[in-house]
Structure 1
Amino acid sequence: MIAVLCGAALGLAGCSSSSPAAPSEYKVKFDTSKGEFVVQVHRDWSPLGADRFYELVKSGFYDEARFFRVVPGFVVQWGINKDPKVTAEWRDKRIADDPVKESNRPGTVSFATSGAGTRTTQLFVNLASNARLDAIGFSPFGEVIEGMEAVARLYPGYSEEPEQQLIETQGNAYLEKFYPNLDYIKTAHVE
């Protein structure tokens, strides 16, 4: 299960923390096909993660992204851009790991990773207490403070079926063809 969050490990050499500093606290509203939810970000929990998330939201990266992995009782995952060209631009823009200061409890938001120093754009919301993820470096940077019921309604029927490599190379075209019931983000913006 954890292995699916983690893909092939990549080296630390490509790590970068060039994202501009975000405010110490900020909120991001996600308008989705199942309603809205709001993430409160605490930069002191995970500074590099909070900075990268801020940069991605401000750039519109998550607009029209699909929730491609919904595992009830575990996580909801997203963060591959609708356009493979945009995804490719971010593929090697990894950020270093932040120490884990908060536990992966229900409603917290963390970056997905494929090993040390590999965080880029993919995120997940914890649907349960996933404290086991703390010990392997998944550092929450925020928490859903409104709309967790919308997150709970996201379509779980495909579970872990969509292939991330195909999403990265084909974007939403792949998901719309083979996984048409996936829920998606209409827009995400800093409030």
Structure 2
Amino acid sequence: MIVRIVAIASALLVAASIGMAGQEGDEKAPATFKVKFDSSAGPFVVEVHRAWAPNAADHFYTLVKNGFFDEARFFRVVPNFMVQFGINADPAVQSKWHNSIKDDPVKESNKRGYVTFAQTSAPNSRSTQIFVNFKDNSFLDSQRFAPFGQVTSGMDNVDKITAEYGEKPNQGSIQSQGNTYLKAQFPQLDYVKKATIEK
């Protein structure tokens, strides 16, 4: 079991896109804001607290305002661990957002329903991919995974996201082919229909 957890954590470390350009261009997010995800598994709402992780909050806010997550597939689902998404449906769009943001200190623990950016093993490597913790994963706290928000409603729908394909979708293929690859090879993947900042 310990080996399995280590393997999963290692995979999560290499799950983000690479790039090293800080967070230039990101809009400063409000101190607290909510994002509604209308997904094929049902709606859920993420409440973001900028004080938890300012760089992450600003980047997430900017991504949502630009419609980045719309039509994005939940391409990695590990039961009793987490669900991951955040590769754009269109490779041309994804390529424009490959730059990374600076790390934030970890102020909150990776509890059930908490939302965090994926990253590589290198510092300052968070980009566009995020994950929602299915359970308390405090072992991630010491690995620089800094939560920036939490699911405040609809966590039951997050739990329903299909785990049929597990970790089978190839992230390189998603990056280069987008939803064309996923629809052909993994047609039952759940996905974000639209993500919007609630007024």
Shared fold (TM-score greater than 0.5)? Answer: yes
Aligned residues: 189
Corresponding letter in the other structure for 1:38: V
- In 1, the alpha carbon distance for the partners of 2:67 and 2:101 equals 19
> 1:5 aligned to 12, 16, 23, which one?
12
Structure 2: which 5+ residue stretches go unaligned?
1-7
Q: Deviations over 1:114-149 (max 9, x none)?
A: 121111100000001110110000000000000001
Once the 2 structures are TM-superposed, how far is the Cα of residue 20 of structure 1 from its aligned partner?
A: 1.5
Partner of residue 149, structure 1: 156
Partner of residue 158, structure 1: 165
Once the 2 structures are TM-superposed, how far is the Cα of residue 8 of structure 1 from its aligned partner?
A: 8.1
> 1:71 aligned to 72, 75, 78, which one?
78
SS in structure 1 of the partner of residue 43 of structure 2:
strand
Once the 2 structures are TM-superposed, how far is the Cα of residue 90 of structure 1 from its aligned partner?
A: 1.0
Q: Deviations over 1:52-110 (max 9, x none)?
A: 0000000000000000011110000000000001111111x210100000000000000
- In 1, the alpha carbon distance for the partners of 2:32 and 2:170 equals 34
> 2:59 aligned to 52, 58, 64, which one?
52
TM-score, with structure 1 as normaliser: 0.96
Corresponding letter in the other structure for 1:147: G
Partner of residue 3, structure 2: none
Partner of residue 185, structure 2: 178
> 1:95 aligned to 101, 123, 126, which one?
101
- In 2, the alpha carbon distance for the partners of 1:164 and 1:114 equals 13
Corresponding letter in the other structure for 1:181: Q
SS in structure 2 of the partner of residue 14 of structure 1:
coil
For the aligned residue pairs, the C-alpha RMSD in angstroms reads 1.5
Partner of residue 114, structure 1: 120
Once the 2 structures are TM-superposed, how far is the Cα of residue 160 of structure 1 from its aligned partner?
A: 0.6
> 1:81 aligned to 65, 88, 97, which one?
88
> 1:14 aligned to 6, 17, 20, which one?
20
Partner of residue 37, structure 1: 44
Corresponding letter in the other structure for 1:175: L
Moved over 2 A (4+): 8-11
> 2:32 aligned to 7, 15, 25, which one?
25
TM-score, with structure 2 as normaliser: 0.92
**Inter-CA distance 52–147: structure 2 relative to 1 (3 Å threshold):** same
SS in structure 2 of the partner of residue 35 of structure 1:
coil
Corresponding letter in the other structure for 1:102: E
Structure 1: which 5+ residue stretches go unaligned?
none
